[in-house]
Amino acid sequence: MNIAVVGTGYVGLVSGTCFAESGNEVICVDINRERIAQLNQGLSPIYEPGLEELIRRNLKEGRLSFTTELAPAVAQSMVSFIAVGTPESPGGGADLSQVFAVAEQIARAAVGYHIIAIKSTVPVGTNDRVVEIVGANGGGRIDVCSVPEFLKEGSAIEDFMRPDRVVIGSTSEKATAILREIHAAFVRTDNPVLVMHPRSAELTKYASNAMLALRISFINQMANLCEAVGAEINDVRRGMGSDRRIGSQFLFPGVGYGGSCFPKDVQALIRSAADHCLDFSILRAADEVNDAQKRILVDRARQHFGGDLRGRVFALWGLAFKPRTDDMREAPALTVIDELLAAGAQIQAHDPEALKTARALFGDRISYHETNYAALRGADALMILTEWNEFRHPNFQRIKAELKNPVIFDGRNLYDPALMQALEIKYYSIGRRPV
């Protein structure tokens, strides 16, 4: 099938490439000429394991192409997926200007029967508004559907190719049948294709991310309580997670969630509820907990160093909001770096993939190091903010040799406190007794 994907950000690029990999002919559209030129050379502008290899293969085999020209791409396609950004607006809601602008362009360019499938994360009621825009621009034979994405950065290819579920928000039997066919290759193991009203599909995406954010904030508050009363969060977490009604997913304490989805989607759902005169207080609390959690390591550093961090040098391991990505949007590292710099500290940072991203954000205010051990040299302490695999089993003798003081502030609970005690390393983690 001929498919257009408008937007080559994270969602659009992964979606378009995976649709091509399953045999469709896909044209990805973006207004960023530099990005399109890069993609046409087989180079991915984002880091996602396995993505660049798939882009190159499908370019070579002629199933995938990239362009800045929307109208021709839409004219030769039956389905156009909208995958443009919906950033947080000043009021906390989602900025839908790009979605509406693209919908208008598609309506004017479509030839014959056409499906607009909204894959961008949008608040409830967006589909209705797009239907109005399409109707006002001559789109008489266009069905508008909502097909939200459920991709995790770092495992997006696997998530797309083997989804837990596919959600299709549609009121058209014809559009539903076509969208089922497009997704059939990804649900051969009988994972469900859930067809529902577009408003329900829009809310399903937000509800899923909000529930995961709630779990993270809950376990972080439990970790703080564990420290206060002398309990161990890992024991509590395992005790909770063994209950089949609860499960163990997203119950790992840390320095808070970040990324392009959870913070923005939580705020958008709060705003959507407020628009309907509902106070989503549980989500507001989760957001407040997460904001405070991002500052917890800096607070512990202040306590450890007697309240004054001026002139102290901190090695930071991990800048991306999670491993296997270079994405620093809303990452805890942003808050930690700002807090440390404001306190007069110096920062020596390392991340396997996000150094280029960090340089664009912080310039020469911090120093950047290609290896994790280089970042340690002459530092007063190590802070760990992202759980990259290469940080899990380091050479502790080398850590002790490089640091001025053997002190680790671990925001991801990577190490065994008993081992830290045996190695005579001062160790602060989340929800566990300090060493």
Asked whether the beta carbons of 259 and 322 are under 8 A apart, the reply is yes
* Whole-Å CA distances, 363 to 30, 160, 418: 28, 35, 39
Q: How far apart are CA 31 and CA 266, in angstroms?
A: 28
Q: How far apart are CA 244 and CA 236, in angstroms?
A: 15
Total Cβ atoms within 10 A of residue 364 = 7
Sign of CA dihedral 237, 240, 242, 244: negative
Q: Which residues contact 210 (CB under 8 A, 6 or more apart)?
A: 265, 266, 269, 283, 286
Active site residue 18: no
What tokens appear for 272 in the block? Answer: 């959507």
Q: How far apart are CA 108 and CA 90, in angstroms?
A: 30
Closest CA to 48 of 321, 257, 323, 262: 323
Q: How far apart are CA 102 and CA 130, in angstroms?
A: 10
* Residue of 18, 145, 226, 261 marked active site: 261
What positions carry a catalytic annotation? 261
